[in-house]
Amino acid sequence: MKRLLFAGLLLPLAAAAQSSAVYTPELLWKLGRLGEMQVSPDRKTVAYTVTRYSLADNKGNTDIWTVPVAGGPARQLTTTPGSESTLNWRPDGKLTFLSSEGGSEQLYVMNADGSGKQLLSQFPETGVANLKYAPTGKFILYTQDVKTGKSVQDWFPDLPKADAKIIDDLNYRHWNQWDDLHVGHVFFQPVGDDGKPTGYGKDVMAGEKFDAPLQPFGGNEQLAFSPDGYQLAYTSRKLTGKAEAESTNSDIYLYDVRTGQTQNLSQGLGGYDTEPAFSPDGSKVAWLSMATPGFESDRNGIVVYDFKTKKRADITAGSEQAAANIRWSADGKTIYFVSVLEGTEQLFFIASKGGKIKQLTKGVHNYNAFELAGKDVAIANKTTQAQPADLVRIDLKTGRETPLTRINEQELAGVKTSRTEARWVKTTDGKQMQVYVIYPPDFDPSKKYPALLYCQGGPQSPITQAFSYRWNFQLLAANGYIVVAPNRRGLPGFGTEWNNSISGDWGGQPIRDYLSAIDAVSAEPYVDKARLGCVGASYGGYSVYLLAGKHEGRFKTFIAHCGLYNLTSWYPSTEEMFFAKQDIGAAPWETPQHKSYTEFNPQLFAKNWDTPILVIHGGKDFRVPEGQGMEAFGTAQLRGIPSRFLYFPNEGHWISKPQNSVLWNRVFFEWLSRTLRPEVPAAK
């Protein structure tokens, strides 16, 4: 086993000696969470948002801050009881934003120092989102919900109290929301000389039954103005019902303000096309593009469309790097982007005409998003597994960074962080796999510790240096566990073959990778092999259920959150059918049956279950419907296996509410304390 110690994640010895506190569930909800960031037109100031939560009130509030690009004290600009969002710097150096202060979305403007706050527009109760100013400041675009379907009361007005849904097609619910008979449309509106929107917003998608941006995760990164403001590009998947459920084919549409005409720039490209970005001179537009129809985790290439030649090209064709967060250089000759590489996220760049991709930054961190702030300067959102997001300045010539913010300096003062190590473990098919190992604070190799195998979801979501508020490795380690987190087969950052090979093979090599990882780490003398646990969510929860029937006595406890227990019943009850078809390989009624149902279905191996298991599920999880958790818990109960079901009726695939999250952690750690008997008490 090769090892690489990530020394950059360690506290200085003096600081470590003075530390007394550790990560707790409550501490995670005290931390300020960095959100948006926007660089001012003069490149001197960064505006950003920070959300802070009240555990007692069970909600959060978002405020606006600024910090100089050159470095200096951060300054809080808003302290309203409502939340601020959707930052836009105008050409005159003033900052606009949306505020929920009055109960509905209102557009305000203020000076760069927070003075001179003025109401520009109050939008209807239906509200707006994703508002953007044109670079000239003469136009705005935004999205707003438009009703496109009929409710039971529309069909039968004499039954005003009837409580039902009439469903004739698929995609009637998505992730955690039922179809509410509305879609998001893009609106365009002029702005007067006084900076206020004038007239009425024009729906550029009038009469259409499609969302823009893509729901539920798309935001204003999927919308863009041309430099002159007379064209706007937006992302939409113009399909409905079963066709929408079975396809990832979204496109980039160009709307011309002067003619009112719309053009599909990505016509013929079959996968996701998202996040348009115009070149500084407006002669080209670039976007992220996936080639494979139906494969939501395909490699994102960068496609550039030339308005003069009317030709487009994937300038990253042949590369193994997947792009995100693309940004044009000021001269239009270079495109910068973020990409996952071996458990980190780094900045890369490529000539806008195509060529060799070059890596700009290195180190044990994630640069999750960035904005350019001059010819050789970028401002990035940086995290590690031990440190939540802060802003840093990056020199684009050298790749060196300078910290700009310390959002949680006070909250994390004196808090111990755990040592993180990256190992390379040989898999059963002779390949090398990166495995993160996170040790408890004050780790003593002469002692023995219980260990947890962490099974990642996705199934193609990488384990990187992201700071997680759901599965926080620092919190797991702070409770006395060694955490083993493998970047097993299917996770990005290790080449296209490694990433794609999990499709149709959920219960094959990826599961063997998990066992290779835990076997390698548990061979260490400081790991108590009699106290191993296995935990995970989504595909990770599926992995837990499958391993519960195949682990051959390795584990003493299991915890599955929103896991897939029965692939046969899951397939027709999930919502994005393209995901099910691509990753499972076939429908359960097709003959001959795919091995996903005959070899990889956890339900088939429940006859071997003999180990305590905690099942967690959300009632609004439509990606993995609640019946999956209920089937698993019912199986354990009927077979007499010690088990518990933690059910959140109003949560979806993730636990999002502060008090629910703390409860989740308390039950989680109490279960581990009871079944693995660690040397430290469970989190309080």
**Got the DSSP string for 509-529?**
HHHHHHHHHHHHHHTSTTEEE
The single-letter DSSP state of residue 12 is P
The single-letter DSSP state of residue 452 is E
| Interstrand relation of 344-351 and 334-341 (parallel, antiparallel or unpaired) | antiparallel
- The length of the chain, given as a count of residues: 684
Say which amino acid occupies 21: A
* Structure tokens given for 12: 């200085």
For the chain, give the percent of residues with pLDDT over 70: 95
Q: Are 478 and 515 spatial neighbours (Cβ–Cβ below 8 Å)?
A: no
- 3-state SS, residue 462: coil
Instruction: Write out pLDDT tens, residues 251-264.
Output: 999 999 999 999 99
Mean local confidence (pLDDT), 406-432: 97
Residues 6+ apart with CB under 8 A from 29: 53, 55, 658, 661, 662
* Structure tokens given for 374: 């001059």
Mean local confidence (pLDDT), 19-31: 89
Residues 6+ apart with CB under 8 A from 198: 189, 190, 191, 192
Residue 365 to residue 421: CA distance in whole angstroms:
13
Annotated active-site residue in 211, 621, 643, 661: 621
Residues 6+ apart with CB under 8 A from 135: 91, 225, 227, 228, 229
- 3-state SS, residue 460: coil
- What pLDDT does 11 receive? 31
Instruction: Write out pLDDT tens, residues 53-108.
Output: 999 999 999 999 999 999 999 999 999 998 999 999 999 999 999 998 767 789 99
The residue behind tokens 């937006």 is 234
CA distances from 186 to 86, 96, 143, 219 (A): 15, 19, 5, 12
Mean local confidence (pLDDT), 574-603: 96
Residue 305 to residue 326: CA distance in whole angstroms:
14
Is 57 among the catalytic positions?
A: no
The single-letter DSSP state of residue 247 is -
- What pLDDT does 681 receive? 47
Residue 153 to residue 113: CA distance in whole angstroms:
50
Residue 488 to residue 547: CA distance in whole angstroms:
15
**Got the DSSP string for 305-374?**
EETTTTEEEETTTT--PPPEEEEE-TTSSEEEEEEEETTEEEEEEEETT----EE---SSSEEEEEEE-S
Q: Are 522 and 529 spatial neighbours (Cβ–Cβ below 8 Å)?
A: yes
In the chain, the N- to C-terminal Cα span, in Å, equals: 36
- What pLDDT does 37 receive? 97
- What pLDDT does 7 receive? 33
**Higher pLDDT residue, 100 or 378?**
378
Annotated active-site residue in 319, 538, 643, 661: 538
pLDDT exceeds 50 at position 457? yes
209: β partners: none
Helix 539-548 × helix 509-522 angle, to 10°: 70
Residue 220's closest CA among 87, 355, 107?
A: 87
Q: How far is residue 278 CA from its own chain's centroid?
A: 24
The H or E element containing residue 21 is none
pLDDT exceeds 60 at position 3? no
Q: Are 195 and 109 spatial neighbours (Cβ–Cβ below 8 Å)?
A: yes
Would you place residue 194 in the very low, low, confident or very high pLDDT band (cuts 50, 70, 90)? confident
Instruction: Write out pLDDT tens, residues 620-665.
Output: 999 999 999 999 999 999 999 999 999 999 999 999 999 999 999 9
Instruction: Write out pLDDT tens, residues 463-481.
Output: 999 999 999 999 999 999 9
Residues 6+ apart with CB under 8 A from 292: 270, 271, 298
For the chain, give the percent of residues with pLDDT over 90: 92
* Structure tokens given for 631: 């089937």
Other CB atoms closer than 10 Å to residue 264's CB: what's the count? 14
* Structure tokens given for 267: 């016509």
Residue 489 to residue 503: CA distance in whole angstroms:
10
* Structure tokens given for 7: 């020394």
pLDDT exceeds 80 at position 602? yes
The model carries a pTM of 0.94
Residues 6+ apart with CB under 8 A from 318: none
Mean pLDDT of the chain: 94
Q: Are 480 and 418 spatial neighbours (Cβ–Cβ below 8 Å)?
A: no
Other CB atoms closer than 10 Å to residue 410's CB: what's the count? 9
Is 182 among the catalytic positions?
A: no
- Among left, alpha and beta (phi > 0; psi -120 to 50; other), residue 253 is beta
Instruction: Write out pLDDT tens, residues 141-190.
Output: 999 999 999 999 999 999 999 999 999 999 999 999 999 999 999 999 99
The single-letter DSSP state of residue 150 is -
Q: How far is residue 555 CA from its own chain's centroid?
A: 30
- What pLDDT does 484 receive? 98
Residue 22 to residue 441: CA distance in whole angstroms:
8
Residue 616's closest CA among 658, 644, 575, 635?
A: 644
pLDDT exceeds 60 at position 12? no
Instruction: Write out pLDDT tens, residues 524-565.
Output: 999 999 999 999 999 999 999 999 999 999 999 999 999 999
Residue 173 to residue 424: CA distance in whole angstroms:
41
Residue 682 to residue 676: CA distance in whole angstroms:
11
Is 621 among the catalytic positions?
A: yes
Would you place residue 203 in the very low, low, confident or very high pLDDT band (cuts 50, 70, 90)? very high
The single-letter DSSP state of residue 476 is H
Residue 146 to residue 629: CA distance in whole angstroms:
35
